[in-house]
Structure 1
Amino acid sequence: MFRRVGNSATSRSLRRLYSQASESGSRSQRSPAYIFGGTLVFISAAVAGTQLSRPTIHNDAYTTTEFADKQKAFQELPIIPKVEQADGKLRLVVWGSNKSHVISSDSTIDSIHTPEAVSLLEGAALRDLALHSNHAACVDARGDVYQWGDGFFGSPSSASDTKNRGPALTLSGKNITRLQVTGSRVFALSASGKIYVLSAQAERQGLPSGVPSPSSSPWWGTGWLWGEDGNIDFAEIVPAHALAWGEKFVSIAAGRDHLLALTSSGRTFAHPITKSANTHGQLGFRKFDIPNPYVAVHTPSSRIHVELTPKAVTDPLGQGSRFSRLSLLSSPPSNSNSPHTSEDLAGVDDKNIRFCDRLFEIPSMKSVKVNQIAAGGRSSYVRTDTGRVLGWGANEHGQIGLGGNVVLDTISVPTEVVLWRSTPGGTMTKCVDMRAGGDLAFFTVERIDGSSIRSVDLLSCGNGQYGGLGNALFSSAQGVPSRTKSVSGLLEFSEKTNNLQPITPRSLSVAPDGHVLLTLDTISQAGPGGGGQDLFAWGSNYDYQVGNGKRTSIAVPATLSRPDGNRFMLMKTKAAEVKDAKGKVWKKNVEVEQVAVAGHGNSVCIIAFLTRLRIPARSGNQDVFGSIWHARTWHVNKAPSPLTVELACFCACGASSSNHFAREVDIRSAEDVKVVYKFAEKTGVPIMKASGDYKGGSGFLYPKYQRWRHWLHAYLISILRLALLLKKMYGATIFGRHQGLEEVGMIDDHMKRTRYGHSPDSWKRLCLEVLEGSESQQFVKDRLKIDAELVESQSRGATGQRHITLWWSVRVE
């Protein structure tokens, strides 16, 4: 077992976890003046594969009195117990710096030398986690945002003041899927494609006087319905020009002072966070507009037009000398680190979350379709749909990857990164993934030679002063992307394909301080009962963030070792119980996995949901991605605009669309679906007590003679499908369409049949009554969002007249 950070019992000393890397490349290359600390996070599920064979991990005892006193704060706990054991809780595993109480909020210890289990977020599985030097934020299973750390609460005045400083709920009801943090902001991307921003400090999250709460304002939607905290101030960042129909933001990446955003159509946007957002041209543009902070009512004419000019343009010779040049009169030094801004920004507070409220499309990227974005500290990267990489921004360490002959410290125009240097002729090269952090950039490159054997290399460039390049060199500048040792070009024989297959990186996390965590996808080729995924760590180790118990930086990727000598591996499993960040049970029997996240000077192993939850399709025309069902049918395009944001899955439009939900869901009897009985109770529809597998139609559950005669048949199909969604998924939306009326009553439909017609209000009431009876009132209040609207149909039926269609959607949060 690993030790757990606590405050009650004296623990035994622990045995150091030594890296398997060669000591030849382990010489120290650190300087306290440049170390900010790196945080690494793992999401740790209750996986039997990481269960240690010994009850205790022993460590070489430290002899200093100070550390001996601090050792009393540790309490032993099992790290990742088996699911079937009594203690089947999910726990974080952390190591590295805890000076700001980011990895253990209730501990007084400044650093954790080797992986430890902590009580922070115990039992919770997370959608995302982001760590900064003095504050952190996470998204729990419900999609709510929590923040903590000394940077958020303020520095504790005493040791006792560290109590009750755990994660605090700051944004709820928005179904957040991804987070990015900077020194002053927390950015959150929702499943519907909206981007929200909060302050990183609790004292700045209070609502300004005279400003209505975002949750109560109609501009902010249904915050009053979903229980948002009306005292927390947040803002939505919107594009300067409206997106196309059906287009939404799907990814965000934050640097030190700028934010990148990617839409579902492959368009790239940038957002200035502070006045320093364009010091090296990392925005991709100079001119933009911001709201006037001195005007109470904002109008397009009242906005301030500003310009942020890169320092290389304002002072092209400023970097020509290591020494400060004399300035004339009282002007500031020409090589000052202060950003060059227009005069209109002189009195504007860029610490306010409303400093800039818009995203601006990068002009030079308008004709380029992008599949992925990444942001370094002061640089930006995009990967196109053809597998090519463009980069721009700071390049003083060669982090843009333009080669050794390019010595410019600023690249203000997106320029292609050459990834095929030193490769044989005829070799096809394509980038399949990329990551960036601080002054480092990594590119996962797929190569195919003349023999059609595919290989995968991890290339790195930038500042490797502390070994972060992973190429066995401590180099402060690397302009040519070089292979990262130990994890590049790995092959293994696959019995399935009967040939060699590459071992690819599963995930990569780059810390701003220069340490890196990589997980190899060693489980995809494993057979029955195969192990987990290898975890490699390297780079800066000043705060023990590499996790080997030493403070020597490592220039070659090395695996972490368990006390029994085996490799420390990340696993996936089905958790018996998953809680939200408040400790309430969210769901049971959920598939989760361990994920490694690198931060400022520390590391964490958290429990996360599987990145892609795949359910094999047997027929139909839908895609399954994550926990969202997508349908490529004409129904999506015909939906009214107020509902398009919610239409994330498939259309439940009647028996004719049964193939849209062709899934083997084992319902041996209608009694298995409680919501069906509640619906029948409200409507009086008889239910056949028969068995069978539901595959889209309703014939298995209802009397055959009722199939086309009963006027509620279509509604029953919709509710049944919703019931299956509730049983199998979360974060999904079901929607459909039926003929409707302004007021409830009988209607002659377009097929010359008489049936019952719902109004939007009666349909929503019916859904609420049925779902509250089958689930609970609290479930409906916390997790369901129901919309309905009447729209005139564009098609004519057998009667030759257009009819009114009732469009509805139910979203499961």
Structure 2
Amino acid sequence: MLATRCLSRGTTHARNAPRLSRTIATRSRPQTARVAAHPYAQRRQQHFVRSVAAVTALWATATAWQYLHGERIFREVHAEEPPKEEEPKIKFEAARRAATSIDDNRNLISSQHLQVVKSWENPGVYAWGSNSGRVVAPESDDVYVKSPQRIPFFDGKLLRDIKLERNFAAAIDERGDLLQWGTAFSNDARQPTHTLRGMNLVSLAVSRDRIVALSRSGAVYSIPVSQEEQQSGPKPVSTSWVPFWGASNNISYRTRTPENLAYNEKVTRISSGLEHALMLTSTGRVYSFASGSQDYPRKGQLGIPGLSWGTRPEGAFDMPHEITTLKGFPVSKIATGDFHSLVSDSAGRAFGFGDNSQGQLGFEYNPEATYIDAPSLLPTQRLYSGTAQQASVTNVFAGGNTSFLTIEAQKPNAAPGAIDRVTVDTWSFGFGLTGQLGTGRWIHAQSTPVKVPAFSGLFEYDENTSSVIPIRLAYLSIGANHAAAVMNNVASVVVSGKSRRLTENDTNWGRDILFWGNNEFYQIGTGKRNNVSTPTYLQPLDQAAEAERAASVTGNFVKQKMEREMHRFQITPKTKVKVNGRNVELEQRVECGRGVTAVYSAV
């Protein structure tokens, strides 16, 4: 009865207790009747009943304890409401700090304005890519420079030109003197060193082992890359206006100015591949010569049919030769790849000669004739067949085994001011396995020119003329297997300290610049190593100034947001500004070399 009362107070288990009690009672009655005849069996029956009662009592006690303690805890734990999730706090953008001046306000509201101002305040050279030849970081032994980094030697300095290869580099300073550095120049040199002085140089081209330099007067010089050869080679005697007075220059070099130039004709442009160079004169004539000393050009890139080491005329092996096939075609632009050449004339025609093993001349590959040794007309009009547009080549570019053309096409009878009156396109052809064609595709050899979408058919609205105008290319810089393009989009550099009729919200902005191609040595500047087949933007070169701007504009939350957003690098166009207390005409320029890239302040 005690067990029965305890069970009746239990929970779920207690509902089964009466059934168990009745079952025990039913079994006990017949067994009790048999006990009178068997005393031993009666004792066993009593022992069994006591055991069952004890087990039942223990089970009932345990059930009651669970009810009083365990179930109560169970109810308490599970009866609680789940904790309420806190609603996310709304983060408001922190207020921008108050500008301290009009110029400070412009810096705060525009990253592009800040880039332009910094390029004026801190002129110099940014370089990145392969540093195996100590070119992009002369004082460092790092193998790579993964993102744009300043060369301290050039801080505050302006240059006329710069050219870079993997193992050597050369530059012309503001005075027109030549600077050289890199392991191919000298293993001991840890910073740029002056070599050829007093020639008033204006532009450079480099071959495998020599530097070709053009002076303002039109003189062309060929200088060995190696400092040892400069010191040990023959040194020409310089002339002087003083009678019977001559002096020996301190380095070895050769003058390669053509001898049969007309009166007032001079060389205005130079370009060099690994073994050959082209010279363009002010009258549109083109000369070529061997620009390297290791191998004589043997792939037709000189543009002289039949010219080879065995058939060359008497005299110096690197004497200039006029490309007479181009007479009657006044040439306006020249370009050279490693072993091929491109030229375009004032009538909008393009010619190619040299190596065509990758289709870099724009002609179908012929295994029986892998090069063309005479200038051949490119069929550019065929690219616009069926459009009723007349095509005119405006510029040519080349580097490595890749070539580019810029073409303007228009309908002869288009209405003045119509948007489709002029279409500006860029075409590429040649080797493109590492993305240097810029078309978004990876092609071993592209012999037919293909349009580069990123630089073709672009238009913008010009507020000055209140009209839609095509966006042209300012220029391309083509390295051995990567490239950069500077767009000629509408820029603004009116805010230069003495501007008038400007509001505090008027800002400067530069020209768009994009990079693509091989990135084995981080020469694209993205900080990564993957090749890029589609032209892409970079972050601003001066990341410290950009971070400082982000910190001053807003609080931490918005600062992190701004750091995630990519402000693109824009290159500063030419304008007159004050640098180091004097007025100069300054711009930023880009130069792609063999696995290296540089952006410098140019005059």
Same fold (TM over 0.5): yes
Partner residue of 1:237?
A: 256
1:499 to 467, 470, 476: 467
Q: Which amino acid aligns with 1:206?
A: Q
**Relative to structure 1, is the Cα distance of residues 517 and 394 closer, same or farther in structure 2, using a 3 angstrom cutoff?**
same
- Equivalent AA in structure 1 for residue 371 of structure 2: T
Tell me, yes or no, if the aligned pair for 2:137 and 2:145 is still in contact at 8 Å.
no
1:87-132 CA-to-partner distances (Å, cap 9, x unmatched) read x332222221111111121122211111222303111111111111
Once the two structures are TM-superposed, the CA of residue 559 in structure 1 deviates from its matched residue by: 1.1
Aligned-partner Cα distance in 2 for 1:80–1:494: 20
1:529-544 pair list within 5 angstroms: 529-544=507-522
Change (3 A) 1:275 1:568: closer
Mapping for residues 176-575 of structure 1, pairs under 5 Å: 176-208=201-233, 213-214=235-236, 216-218=237-239, 230-239=249-258, 241-273=259-291, 274=293, 276-285=295-304, 308=308, 341-342=309-310, 356=317, 358-403=319-364, 408-423=369-384, 424-449=386-411, 450-451=413-414, 453-512=421-480, 514-524=481-491, 529-562=507-540, 563=563, 564-572=565-573, 574-575=576-577
1:257 is displaced (CA, Å) by 0.3
Alpha-carbon distance in 2 for matches of 1:382, 1:389: 6
Q: Pick the structure with more helix per residue.
A: 2
Equivalent of 2:192, from 167, 188, 200?
Answer: 167
Q: Structure 2: state its 5+ residue gaps.
A: 1-102, 416-420, 495-505, 541-562
Question: Aligned partners of 2:150, 2:244: CA distance in 1, in Å?
Answer: 38
Distance 1:235 1:111, change over 3 A: same
Separation in 2, partners of 1:243, 1:383: 21
Residues 619-669 of structure 1 deviation map (CA, whole Å, 9 limit, x = unaligned)? xxxxxxxxxxxxxxxxxxxxxxxxxxxxxxxxxxxxxxxxxxxxxxxxxxx
Pair 409,53 (structure 1): closer, same or farther in 2 beyond 3 Å: farther
**3-state SS, counterpart of residue 205 of structure 1:** helix
Q: Look up the SS of the partner of 1:358 in the other structure.
A: coil
What is the DSSP-based 3-state SS (H/G/I as helix, E as strand, rest coil) of the residue aligned with 2:380? coil
- Identity %, equivalent residues: 30
Of 132, 149, 169, the match for 1:136: 169
Q: Give the CA deviation at 1:357.
A: 5.0
Three-state SS of the structure 1 residue aligned to 2:325 is: helix
1:600 aligns with 2:594: yes
For each residue in 1:526-563, what CA deviation from the matched residue of structure 2 results, as whole angstroms up to 9, or x when unmatched? 99634111110000000111111111111111111345
Q: Matched residues in 1 for 2:355 and 2:252: separation? A: 33
Q: What amino acid is the match of 2:176?
A: G
Contact 1:471 1:556 (C-alpha < 8 Å) held by counterparts:
yes
Residue 446 of structure 2: SS of its match in structure 1? strand
| Partner SS for 2:455 | coil
Letter in 2 for 1:194: A
Listed as ranges, the matches of 1:610-621 within 5 Å are none
CA gap of 1:82–1:223, structure 2 versus 1, over 3 A, is farther
- Residue of structure 2 equivalent to 1:24: none
Aligned length in residues = 456
Whether the 8 Å CA contact 1:537–1:546 is kept in 2: the answer is: yes
Distance 1:374 1:576 in 2: 34
User: Structure 2 vs 1, CA of residues 403 and 496 (structure 1 numbering), >3 Å: closer, same or farther?
Assistant: farther
**What is the CA RMSD across the aligned residues, in angstroms?**
3.3
The separation in 2 between residues aligned to 1:491 and 1:79, in whole angstroms, is: 24
Tell whether the 8 Å contact from 2:361 to 2:403 is kept in structure 1 after alignment. yes
In structure 2, distance between residues paired with 1:81 and 1:501: 27
Cα 1:507–1:199 shift into 2, 3 Å: same
Answer yes or no: is the 8 Å Cα contact 1:461–1:480 preserved in 2: yes
Deviation by residue 1:407-456 (Cα, 9 ceiling, x = unmatched): 84211221111223342342011111111111011111111135352121
Query: Contact 1:79–1:116 at 8 Å: present in 2 too?
Result: no
* Partners of 2:514 and 2:472 in 1: CA distance: 13
Amino acid at match of 1:182: S
Structure 1: where are the runs of 5+ without partners?
Answer: 1-46, 56-77, 157-163, 288-306, 309-340, 349-353, 579-586, 610-813
Distance 2:424 2:243 in 1: 46
What are the within-5 Å matches in structure 2 for residues 732-743 of structure 1? none
Question: Is the contact between residue 494 and residue 525 of structure 1 (CA under 8 Å) also seen in structure 2?
Answer: no
Cα offset, 1:175, TM superposition: 1.0
Q: Secondary structure at the match of 2:489?
A: coil
**Residues 679-707 of structure 1: CA deviation (Å, up to 9, x unaligned):** xxxxxxxxxxxxxxxxxxxxxxxxxxxxx
Say which SS state the counterpart of residue 303 (structure 2) adopts. Answer: coil
Retained in 2: the 8 A contact 1:236–1:357? no
Looking at structure 2, the residues matched to 286 and 127 of structure 1 have their Cα atoms a distance apart, in angstroms, of 35
Larger radius of gyration: 2
Q: 1:217 to 1:393 in 2, by over 3 A?
A: same
> Counterparts of 1:597 and 1:141 in 2: how far apart (Å)?
17
Contact 1:508-1:517 at 8 Å conserved across structures = yes
Q: How does 1:603-682 map to 2 (within 5 A)?
A: 603-609=597-603
CA deviation map 1:387-409 (0-9, x unaligned): 10000110011000125789842
Deviation at 1:474, TM superposition (A): 0.6
Shift of 1:570: 0.8
Q: Does the 8 Å CA contact 1:48/1:83 hold for their aligned counterparts? A: no
In structure 1, C-alpha distance between the alignment counterparts of 2:328 and 2:295, rounded to whole Å? 27
Deviates more, 1:168-177 or 1:112-121: 112-121
Gap change, CA 1:455 and 1:425, over 3 Å in 2: closer
Q: Which amino acid aligns with 1:451?
A: A
Distance 1:451-1:146 versus aligned 2 partners, 3 A rule: same
Which residue number corresponds to residue 742 of structure 1? none
1:223 and 1:532 map into 2 onto residues whose CA distance is 52
CA gap 1:223/1:544 in 2 versus in 1, 3 angstroms: farther
- Secondary structure of the 1:478 match is strand
Cα displacement (A) at 1:459: 0.6
Aligned-pair CA distance for 1:516 = 0.5
The one-letter code of the counterpart of 1:539 is G
Contact residue 399 and residue 479 of structure 1 kept, 8 A? yes
User: Which secondary structure does the structure 2 equivalent of 1:544 belong to?
Assistant: coil
Aligned residue in 2 for 1:37: none
Aligned match for 2:585, one of 578, 581, 591: 591
SS at match of 1:486: helix
2:335 and 2:341 in contact (8 A); partners too: yes
